[in-house]
Structure 1
Amino acid sequence: MTINAGGEWSYNLNETPRVCRASAGDTLGDTLTVTSDDGTEQDIAITITGVNDAATFGGTLTGSLNEDVDTAISGTAAVNDVDNGEGTFTAATVNGSPGDLIIAANGDWSYDSMKHSRVCRARRRRYAGDTLTVTSDDGTEQDITITITGVNDAATFGGALSVSVDENATIRLVTMPRSRCGQW
């Protein structure tokens, strides 16, 4: 704090760990005593109100799996937040399109592609994906992106594959290929 002879003062906040860790709405106090030329003392009270510092993310924020090989993958995301008690994730199950992601407070996550019919359609586009949003304890959001690579499933045939007829009969034989995903 600086003060001039006219009594005007200014205060510069030191970014100490205690100040930086203050969460949104937390209040900290600082009291400074000033003395006049005649020796009279006066306290100046400073109130410092914490703000929400947004979390930052790292670790494993993407994953990939193959349609017919993998059904589940996992990883560990990391969250860093200087505010007190906000360096964890909100544990949740996030419902996606072809699968669901479960994330624990410590950032461990697993993705299960349980919605097989959606995954089977991946081969038509060569890939499908899921973008799932997780949240840190302070409300900052982060996407975890899953890529699903399609596999060209070989067709299988059903129905009559051979037939016996006499020489004057007209026959029309139609076979329909069927994939592993049950699509015609």
Structure 2
Amino acid sequence: MKIKVISFLICLTLLSCKKEFSSPELEKHFTESQVEDLNKIRLFFINDIINLDINNFHKNFINEVEKMEASGSPYIPKKKIDSVLSSISADTFNEIWEKHIDSTQFKDKIYNYLLPKYQGKYQIFLADISKKNKAVNHYYQRMNNSGDFNRLSMLGYIKEHPKEFDLKNVNIQILLAIQYISVLRDPFN
């Protein structure tokens, strides 16, 4: 009897931990393994790019991004970002991004960049959460209309709409992770 109760509590704990890093919107649009991949991307962004942890992210994110942008929004080496991108499934990657290469614009360099996947699961996910969030809707509309990630500072959106860009919300954290990984990935390395 005690073993059954302990087993039940362990299962309940493990399930609740998994749900903590998900949301109804994520579960609606992505498979369980894709949600796990999105969380790899989110944690990579929080831990390795912003150098924070999940417990202090919402308190320190704005300060860290201001520092990063004050230094000229440096690119993050493509190899560093590609290491996490190669750890997720191709299926997940292809629901978020399209790879583009342009060699004509830069004579001796190849410009290798990421665009949002048109009508991929990620864009549909953003469309869904934008129905309840005006700031995300504005962001989504700009991305959808241009076919590219907005290269302007996300801080403007966040500072203008701090309640709608709740940094504790996993959906917002994933949006920020994908945005920053997409625009800060060095297109030449």
Question: TM-score over 0.5 for the alignment?
Answer: no
Query: Which category of TM-score, normalised to the shorter sequence, fits these structures?
Result: under 0.3
User: What is the TM-score normalised by the length of structure 1?
Assistant: 0.23
User: What is the TM-score normalised by the length of structure 2?
Assistant: 0.22
Task: Look at both structures and tell me which one has the larger radius of gyration over its CA atoms.
Answer: 1
Greater share of residues in strand: 1
